[in-house]
Amino acid sequence: MSLRPPEPASSRAPDVHAGRLLLGLALAALGVLWLLQALDVATIDWNLGLPIAVIAIGAALLVAGLLGHGSGGLVVLGIALTVLLLASTVVDVPLGGGVGDRTYRPTTVRSRSYELAMGRLTIDLTRIELPESLPAEIRASAHVGVGQLLVLVPQRLPCVATHAKSGIGGVDVFGRSREGFGAEYRTDAVCSAAPVLHLDLTVGIGEVEVRRG
Amino acid sequence: MARDRDRGAIVFGVFFVVVGVAFLLDRLDVWTIRARYLAPILLIAFGMAVLLGARRSSRPRT
């Protein structure tokens, strides 16, 4: 009868799966944040969640790499989240504002904000009645997630400062157009006579157009 | 015996941390990421990460 010598105790540290470790930490952190918000202890800005998740994946990969553990699917997950982060930064789709075709024709001088998730949004400023005491400026901002945004500017308002942006699509401001990925057009008012109309217009996917009405 | 470091995981880890911090600062309005430069910069960075991660160690294999 032969006796086998006892196997030497392994000096290796126990394997820690980086993906599972991160998933567990992420779930626990998410739960804590959710609970804090539910208890009105803190207001959580969920908009920051995606970049923080990418940082966490990077940190987990760093630790896994330094310890010589396998990275599992963390690289794939990180790439997927980075693409999602890129898309959400370029294409900012508002959840409010509804869907469909909307036309607004304000008649009074007042700074306004418009929003539409999907569809065609027309802002016709040609019916604005200017009071005798002219304001120094009028501000209007509009945001469309997917679709078209058209702003009609009256001849009576010659001074217009425009910032128009489209994540994917094009902008056309008084005949000057930009197209493609992250199309943007920004101009200061070409004159200083009151009132100066400030337009801040963004579309996630689609077209922005500003023209005289 | 200590394990070999995983160069690919380290490089991708640094890449994701840098990308995450850049987007986080954008969302905190510390700076603005311009969309038209974003895709090519990310592609370059990702390519560099792949290159650095693929680089072999100079130590002989056993």
Q: Residue A121: which pLDDT band, with cuts at 50, 70 and 90?
A: very high
Q: 3-state SS of A97-159?
A: CCEEEEEECCCCCCCEEEEEEEEEEEEECCCCCCCCCCCCEEEEEEEEEEEEEEEEECCCCCC
CA distances from A165 to A92, A134, B25 (A): 11, 29, 20
Q: Residue B62: which pLDDT band, with cuts at 50, 70 and 90?
A: very low
- ipTM value, please give it: 0.76
For residue range A123-138, what is the model confidence (pLDDT) as tens digits?
A: 999 988 877 777 778 8
Identify from A15, A77, A85 which residue to disrupt to test chain B contact, counting B C-beta atoms within 10 A and taking the largest count. Answer: A85
Mean predicted confidence (pLDDT) in A34-40: 82
CB contact under 8 A, B12 and A48: no
Strands across the sheet containing A196-212: A99-104, A112-124, A137-153, A196-212, A160-173, A176-187
Place of tokens 């966490």: A56
Q: Using CB atoms, pick whichever of B3, B6, B35 lies closest to residue A89.
A: B35
CA distance A99 to A109: 26
| Mean pLDDT estimate for chain A | 82
What pLDDT is attached to residue A172?
Answer: 94
Q: Using CB atoms, pick whichever of A11, A90, A182 lies closest to residue B1.
A: A11
Place of tokens 């923080």: A52
**Please, which residues have CB within 8 angstroms of residue B38's CB and are 6 or more apart in sequence?**
A86, A89, A90, A182
pTM here is 0.59
CB contact under 8 A, A58 and B6: no
Q: Residue B61: which pLDDT band, with cuts at 50, 70 and 90?
A: very low
Closest C-alpha among A161, A44, A147, A162 to residue A91: A147
For residue range A142-197, what is the model confidence (pLDDT) as tens digits?
A: 999 889 999 999 988 888 899 999 988 899 999 999 888 778 888 876 676 778 88
Place of tokens 């380290």: B10
Q: Residue A208: which pLDDT band, with cuts at 50, 70 and 90?
A: very high
CB contact under 8 A, A55 and B8: no
Q: Residue A199: which pLDDT band, with cuts at 50, 70 and 90?
A: very high
CA distances from B20 to A103, A110, A206, A212 (A): 39, 39, 27, 42
For residue range B11-49, what is the model confidence (pLDDT) as tens digits?
A: 888 989 999 998 888 888 888 777 667 777 878 888 887
CB contact under 8 A, A68 and B10: no
